Structure 1
Amino acid sequence: MIKKSLAINPKAKGLIFDLDGTLADTMPIHYIAWKNAAAKYGVNYTTELFIQMAGIPVYPSVEKINEIFGTNIDPKEMGDSKEAEFEKNMHLTPEIKVVTDLVREYHGKIPMAVGTGGSRRLSLKTLEIIGLKGYFDILVTSEDVANFKPHPETFLKCAELMGVDPSDCEVFEDGILGMQAAQTAGMMVVDVTEYYKVTIGQ
């Protein structure tokens, strides 16, 4: 059952949002891009695999595919192919309004940041597409950390840049790895998929 309204924890002094699948409903577009890119290498990319790897940056995702399938695919080659596939259709991305409404409500009132496993260029483009360009001074991407989710570095860096103690930060996430990262960082965490219908693979 989908929960109706999303509110922040009264204890929160800083808000951190994942991007893909949290602010922007990009996951179906990412899934098709991965499926098409993987098919070129004879890999059957399933929805289960996609969900399992949500939050992992693009090149490490290909390395993971190599581990799982025993392949020797060049991470940059396949990763760039996947990103190109995604970019062709990213203009179709809708916002996830139940979450973006919170951003608009608290903009200028409480420190906010985006912590994503995506690239900076495509993350900025995604924020522009969903009408949130200029809403976040702090954007931590895969290019800004040495360790990606489920390691807490992304979110800890967001907290540091906001000047808010990790225990006072509330993270909004859709991915299992991202939720683990937030919990490891000692932050409050909200699973946003309880507030909207996930349609990956349909």
Structure 2
Amino acid sequence: MINLHDHYDGLIFDMDGTLADTMPTHFTAWSTSMAAHGIVFPEERFYALGGVPAAVIVELLAKEQGKSVDAVAVAEAKEELFLDLLKDVQPVLPVKAIAEFHRELIPMAIATGSPHWVADKILQALGIADWFGAIVGADDVENPKPAPDTYLRAAELIGVDPKRCHAFEDTDLGVQAARNAGMTVIDINTLL
């Protein structure tokens, strides 16, 4: 196990696709919700937009496809369907092991593109909610990923200088957000 607490003062984890293997479950919820409104959301595009808030994705795709929808309502319906499927979500084991090893050694936080309340439910379902000193969701900041705000707020809440934080991410937008916050980033795809 890499012992990061000798070199960093805080660890900040993205959640979806990084700490929790939620992406297949999110894609199922997205596909069903969007199809109900005649909007196509290809899987490749879904992964490319990882970390972007749901309502922003709905607005973007609806505009591109000439559809008029209530983006917030569609996003909420997607999140509700996702929660119904939550029992299927598993942790990303190598990342969970890193968090588990460090949880009592240095402050840790979650910086996610999901709404805060959804992040709470996922972390509770995985039995790891109490490992983290802070959770920052897309709805907790003015500018979500790829802006650095989510990561900067997470570092602030655990009382650690962002430059002394190590961030764990699985998407290009998330990596960009953490780097823009001044953090050293581990792309978890290199661990798997």
Aligned mates of 1:165, 1:133 — CA distance in 2: 23
The percentage of counterpart residues that share the same residue type is: 37
Whose helix proportion is higher, 1 or 2? 2
TM-score by length of 1: 0.90
Matches within 5 A, 1:35-114: 35-114=31-110
2:113 pairs, out of 117, 139, 145, with 117
Aligned mates of 1:106, 1:152 — CA distance in 2: 24
Q: Taking CA–CA contacts closer than 8 Å with sequence separation of 6 or more, which of the two structures ends up with the larger relative contact order?
A: 1
Check the 8 A contact 1:117/1:142 in 2, yes or no. yes
2:20 pairs, out of 2, 24, 28, with 24
Q: Structure 1: which 4+ aligned runs deviate by more than 4 Å? A: none
Query: SS state of the match for residue 134, structure 1?
Result: helix
Query: SS state of the match for residue 127, structure 2?
Result: coil
Q: For residues 178-197 of structure 1, what are the alpha-carbon distances to aligned partners after superposition, in whole Å with 9 as ceiling and x for unaligned? A: 1000111111001112223x
Q: Does residue 146 of the first structure (1) align with residue 142 of the second (2)?
A: yes
Check the 8 A contact 2:5/2:106 in 1, yes or no. no
Query: SS state of the match for residue 85, structure 2?
Result: helix
Aligned mates of 1:64, 1:34 — CA distance in 2: 14
Deviation at 1:7, TM superposition (A): 5.8
Aligned mates of 2:101, 2:188 — CA distance in 1: 17
Letter in 2 for 1:72: S
2:30 pairs, out of 34, 39, 45, with 34
Q: For residues 149-196 of structure 1, what are the alpha-carbon distances to aligned partners after superposition, in whole Å with 9 as ceiling and x for unaligned? A: 000000001111122111111100111111000111111001112223
Instruction: Identify the residue that residue 157 of structure 1 maps to in structure 2.
Output: 153
Change in CA separation of 1:10 and 1:37 when aligned onto 2, cut-off 3 Å: same
Query: SS state of the match for residue 95, structure 1?
Result: coil
Deviation at 1:51, TM superposition (A): 1.1
Query: SS state of the match for residue 101, structure 1?
Result: helix
Letter in 2 for 1:17: F
Deviation at 1:80, TM superposition (A): 1.7
Question: 5+ unaligned residues in a row in structure 2: which ranges?
Answer: none
Check the 8 A contact 1:9/1:170 in 2, yes or no. no
Query: SS state of the match for residue 185, structure 2?
Result: strand
Instruction: Identify the residue that residue 14 of structure 1 maps to in structure 2.
Output: 10
Letter in 1 for 2:29: A
Q: Does residue 134 of the first structure (1) align with residue 130 of the second (2)?
A: yes
Change in CA separation of 1:111 and 1:73 when aligned onto 2, cut-off 3 Å: same
Deviation at 1:59, TM superposition (A): 1.2
Letter in 2 for 1:34: W
Q: Does residue 179 of the first structure (1) align with residue 175 of the second (2)?
A: yes
Question: 5+ unaligned residues in a row in structure 1: which ranges?
Answer: 197-202
Q: Which has the higher mean CA deviation after the structures are superposed, 12-21 or 70-79?
A: 70-79
